[in-house]
């Protein structure tokens, strides 16, 4: 099935001061008081490094192809599972001490949902710091009603993709992250193997013509 087009609606993060004039406790990172801090759309399960006995795995995402990968394994928030773009499950991550996004997704690879999903979207509550790690999620913010409604609407629009919703969701300061494949720890995809075989065949044909 051909991939659907998704538009990045992210805005560049800026540094803000509170009403009292004091800087955020995480002053070395951009301040983002919005409800949803960042999100990823239609990531592929096969492109996630789920871990090995001596390797915990990762959940990498990037703002662009040139940016440094961020590991979202400890993210908290809402996630959606798909089977070829069809929603099959909606869940939350971070309600318990050891139920981060990566843990919840990995659980669904062995529970009753195993083999029934191949893509996922997520909507995170933790900010990305300048050091490209997630915040500790200890800050509390009061969110405007309009902002909360905008984010609820945006989540629904981008997960369900209603055909008559021509306008995308309003994310405010939330940043869209693209999936980053950990090629150092993952086996080549079938398409990569096929391209490699085709290149070898092409190379052999050139040798025969010499």
What are the tens digits of pLDDT across the range 50-71? Answer: 998 899 999 999 998 778 999 9
Quick count: other Cβ atoms within 10 Å of Cβ 13? 20
Summarize the confidence of residues 154-166 as an average pLDDT. Answer: 92
Q: What is the pTM of this model?
A: 0.75
By the 8 A CB rule, do 87 and 80 touch?
A: yes
Main-chain dihedrals φ then ψ at residue 26, nearest 5 degrees: -105, 65
Q: Residue 151: is it exposed, middle or buried by C-beta count within 10 angstroms (0-12/13-18/19+)?
A: buried
What are the tens digits of pLDDT across the range 4-62? Answer: 444 433 333 333 333 334 343 343 445 567 889 999 999 999 999 999 889 999 999 99
């Amino acid at each position: 099935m051909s991939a659907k087009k998704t538009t990045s609606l992210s805005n560049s993060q800026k540094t803000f001061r509170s009403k009292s004039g004091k800087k955020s406790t995480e002053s070395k990172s951009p301040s983002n008081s919005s409800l949803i801090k960042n999100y990823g759309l239609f990531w592929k399960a096969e492109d996630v490094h789920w871990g090995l006995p001596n390797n915990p795995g990762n959940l990498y995402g990037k703002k662009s192809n040139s940016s440094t990968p961020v590991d979202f394994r400890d993210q908290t928030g809402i996630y959606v599972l798909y089977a070829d773009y069809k929603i099959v499950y909606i869940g939350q991550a971070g309600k318990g001490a050891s139920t981060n996004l990566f843990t919840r997704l990995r659980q669904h690879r062995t529970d009753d949902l195993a083999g029934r999903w191949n893509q996922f979207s997520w909507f995170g509550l933790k900010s990305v710091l300048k050091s490209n790690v997630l915040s500790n999620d200890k800050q509390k913010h009061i969110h405007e009603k309009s902002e909360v409604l905008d984010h609820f609407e945006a989540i629904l629009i981008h997960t369900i993709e209603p055909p008559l919703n021509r306008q995308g969701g309003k994310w405010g300061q939330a940043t869209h992250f693209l999936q980053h494949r950990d090629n150092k720890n993952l086996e080549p995809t079938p398409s990569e193997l096929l391209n490699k075989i085709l290149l070898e065949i092409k190379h052999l044909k050139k040798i025969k013509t010499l």
